[in-house]
Chains A and B, each alone.
Chain A
Amino acid sequence: MEKNIILSVKDLEVKFKVRDRELTAIRNVSLDFEEGKVVAIVGESGSGKSVFTKTFTGMLDINGRISNGEIYFEGKDISKITDDKDWEQIRGKKIATVFQDPMTSLNPVRTIGYQISEVIIKHQGKSKEEAKQIAIELMEKVGIKDAANRYDEYPFMYSGGMRQRIVIAIALACRPKILICDEPTTALDVTIQAQIIELIKELAKEYEFTTIYITHDLGVVANVADIVAVMYAGQIVEYGLVEEIFYNPQHPYTWGLLSSLPQLGEKGDELFAIKGTPPSLFQEIKGDGFAPRSEYSMKIDFELEPPMFKVSDTHYAKTWLLDPRAPKVEKPKTIQNLHEKMLALTSKGGVYSDRDK
């Protein structure tokens, strides 16, 4: 089957300068994004998920830079773009972003209509009147009732869920090829979360864009993603189809993440947590970055960085446990029959994360 790669990242390395010291936030990440697929990037805070996707739109903070690697988009290496003018042709127009907090993503003193049509005027060169028509259509599409009348209202007149709908409408205003959703539902309550996820799913079908989800909510991942990339300490440690990650995880960090699902906790038992903290990104990380926190680490984990081992055509993991010479280890008991457990949870309906209300 011919794969249609829309965005291709090769050996990406991102460094930040913090008080005269340099830290490496992204360490040699390579990843291809397939057109029309939903890719979820998961990992704990500080693992580099957001920084990774920010490089696609040139949104790195002023003290950060791409020190190595390439990002190919539409045949061009966008990692080399320095001029803001060139970025403006990509940002919002071809690669759009939805941020975490809809309460603060919108300008409080500008009307909703202004903030939507502004993008349409800028990127599509439409007149004010045309832009208004398009904006109202978009508002209806994302589920705002009585859109024509609400066009001139201000963000404070909208609820959180509705604001996130508007943010999505703005992001989709120019029919982007890629939509980056940076924890789009974290700030919303559970019922609204499900609605927003459903909305993005539907719109992705209609507008045929590729979705990149950044989240640490594995419930969301299971619900929406086609492909999952697990990030740890600036690297992708495991990558595969969503079923492969959930039902046949290979990396001890993925095991840890899955074991931490609160839905899997037994009543009365303490919830599982991965011990320790991520390594400092200021120092060079030797071997497997997760080794000091792993119960399964071997001597080689502290000395040599593991390569990406191929598990299947679509599934890769970066752990020495997959080396033929490694001893056979069993993955933790809690996630051994995750498939059945997850099915049991979903059969009750709703998103996985709804369960523990």
Chain B
Amino acid sequence: MKKYIWTRLLKSIISILIVVSIVVIMLYTLIPVSKIFENDPARQKLKTNYKTVYTYSRLEDLGYLDYYTIGEMCLAKDSQDINACITAGSDENIRVLNEFEADGFTVEKLQQFDEMQGNSIAYRYYGVLELLGNFYKKLIVIDHPFKIHDPKNPDMERGYSIGLDHNNVPAIKCSGCEYKYQLYFNTSFPFIHTNALKLNFGISYPTNAGVPTMDVISTGQGTMDSFEQTFPTGEVLKSPILQHTCKYKYETDHLDQKRFDDNYANCALKYDSPSMIQTSYIFGISSLILAYLISLPYAIAMARNKGKFVDKSGIVLINILIAVPSLALIFFVKYIGFAFGMPDKFPQLGFTNIKSYILPIIILALLTMPSLMMWVRRYMVDQSNADYVKFAKAKGLSKKEISRNHILKNAIIPIVNGLPSSIILAISGAVITESVFSIPGMGKMLPDAIKSTNNNMVITLTFIFTSLSILSVFLGDLLMTFVDPRISLNVKEGDK
């Protein structure tokens, strides 16, 4: 069992790496570079050589190429006389440029008329393997006590300590790390958190330019939410600062010094509305619970009374729900709900009003229900035709006992298998419903990111969705071993 789980995990990680690598290669090699800048208003305002320089430095930020200005080139080639080196046409200048050209760089002279005219730049697009190497090199960020090197604070203590946080809960703190809190507990899921290991997918661009992609989808939305808290200096203040997230700040101002007794003052803030992931999750999970609560008993009743009214009415319902296009169903329910005073757009009443949630949740549940009902009924009916049911009847058990003690336990196996996927993948959001109700969730993130060529965002989402899918299938298989004694997770000799 243990061995199986480890091999399975290893296989999962390999599959994730393969998928992400393919996506990285495709995005960086197949999408024309000009496409990336179509949605960048800052670049559109620039003219002449500034535009060229901006373009290359942006591309360097995004990981497309290695880019050098003339000054950087001179430094890189250990030029003794910097002034001569940066002067176009000097011997030193030509030597450096030739060396760069010999290294495979494209050297370009800025042609247009402005103060940069005549200066040279050099760039080199990365090959496929280099792209992948760079991506994985920066993907996993491990925090350690020798991370921060602040010239103004050379005698910084370095090491871990166990102490109390501002809520008087034990936490592992670190001095010298990027984050102050390495391991801490709080009341939000999953209750135990760490800053020691982070995934870095780069920055979002051109939408939400400059913000790390993970932060775009996981930081709260709306306005800042201040709450009363005690700071390390003993100061009690109403502030939106989340102290667990504080990073090392090189330049602290007097406000920071008033609150913090060290340099860890660069903190994330609390917002009053949930993040995109949370928003989609709230809708996904609520609708899932609603769908299961209705579908399971209904489908079981249908199977028990096969061919009778309950069954026939259920089949009619399933047929209607499947036959009606989802968009039509969404608008139909929306207009009915509107007649009952429900808002037809989510932002009208916002996150705090329960009415905002009712219609989307009902719609999402209605969309999940037909297939769920159909399959549960199918499993139940299949099982009730099994020989062991005939034998159970011959044993003198009542229909109810057979259904409860025998059929259900068999029919539930395939349902249990699919359950983790349904729960975990609820975060991927619902594209159409979220668009129709203007819900700020995850649903539109992937199509939007693709449309605006936000490559890093596409990679981030691919990574998240792939890992969660693989994880949830794995969890489903693990769960099956609990409900079906015939299944055990063991590596067989023949599998090697």
* Chain A residues in the interface with B (C-beta under 8 A): 57, 59, 84-85, 87-93, 96-97, 99, 101, 104-111, 118-119, 122-123, 154, 156, 167, 170-171, 174
Contacts and interface: CB of A to CB of B under 8 A. Distances in A.
Contacts of B410: 107-109
Given A109-B410, A109-B484, A101 B394 contact: no
Contacts of A101: 387
A109 B395 contact: no
B394 A122 contact: no
A92 B401 CA distance: 14
Nearest to A157: B485
Nearest to B388: A107
B409 A118 contact: no
Contacts of B161: none
Nearest to B395: A92
Contacts of A104: 386-388
A91 B395 contact: yes
B398 A92 contact: no
B398 A84 contact: yes
A122 B396 contact: yes
B404 to A, nearest CB: 12
A341 B486 CA distance: 48
Given A110-B406, A118-B405, A170 B395 contact: yes
B405 A92 contact: no
B142 interface: no
A273 to B, nearest CB: 30
Nearest to B393: A59
B140 interface: no
B447 to A, nearest CB: 42
B391 A167 contact: yes
B187 to A, nearest CB: 39
Contact of A91 (B388, B394, B485): B394
A89 B397 CA distance: 10
B401 A122 contact: yes
Nearest to A119: B395
B392 interface: yes
Interface residues of B, number: 23
A128 to B, nearest CB: 14
A167 B393 CA distance: 13
B396 A97 contact: no
A106 B388 contact: yes
B396 A93 contact: yes
A252 B406 CA distance: 46
A247 to B, nearest CB: 35
A89 B395 CA distance: 10
A329 B221 CA distance: 100
B166 interface: no
Given A59-B390, A99-B391, A108 B397 contact: no
Contacts of A91: 393-396
Contact of B486 (A90, A92, A106, A154): A154
A167 B394 CA distance: 11
A93 B398 CA distance: 13
5 contacts: A87-B396, A88-B397, A99-B391, A122-B397, A171-B394
Given A105-B390, A119-B395, 13 more contacts: A59-B393, A85-B398, A87-B396, A89-B396, A91-B395, A101-B387, A104-B388, A105-B387, A105-B388, A107-B388, A109-B409, A122-B395, A171-B395
Interface string B469-496: 0000000000000011110000000000
Contacts of A122: 395-397, 401
Contact of B396 (A111, A119, A154): A119
A92 B397 contact: yes
B399 interface: yes
Interface in B356-412: 386-388, 390-399, 401, 405-406, 409-410
Contacts of B409: 107, 109-110
A110 B395 contact: no
Nearest to B409: A109
B413 interface: yes
Interface in B407-437: 409-410, 413
Contact of B394 (A57, A108, A123): A57
B391 A108 contact: no
A245 B146 CA distance: 98
A101 B485 CA distance: 21
A171 to B, nearest CB: 8
A156 B392 CA distance: 17
A292 B65 CA distance: 92
B392 to A, nearest CB: 7
Contacts of B392: 107
Nearest to A97: B394
Contacts of A111: 485
A24 to B, nearest CB: 23
Given A108-B410, A108-B486, A154-B485, A84 B391 contact: no
A87 B393 CA distance: 10
Nearest to B391: A105
A84 B386 CA distance: 20
A59 B406 contact: no
A170 B401 CA distance: 16
A108 to B, nearest CB: 6
A59 B395 CA distance: 11
A219 to B, nearest CB: 25
A107 B406 contact: yes
A171 B485 CA distance: 24
B285 to A, nearest CB: 28
Q: Which 6 residue pairs spanning A and B have beta carbons closest together?
A: A92-B396, A104-B387, A91-B396, A97-B394, A92-B395, A105-B391
A106 B480 CA distance: 20
Interface in B87-112: none
Residue of A96, A106, A118, A171 most packed against chain B (CB within 10 A): A118
Contacts of A88: 396-398
Contacts of A118: 395, 397, 405
A109 B392 CA distance: 14
A329 to B, nearest CB: 43
Given A118-B405, A154-B486, A106 B391 contact: yes
Nearest to A62: B307
A158 to B, nearest CB: 12
Nearest to B392: A107
Contacts of B386: 104
A155 B59 CA distance: 64
A88 B388 CA distance: 17
Contacts of B393: 59, 91
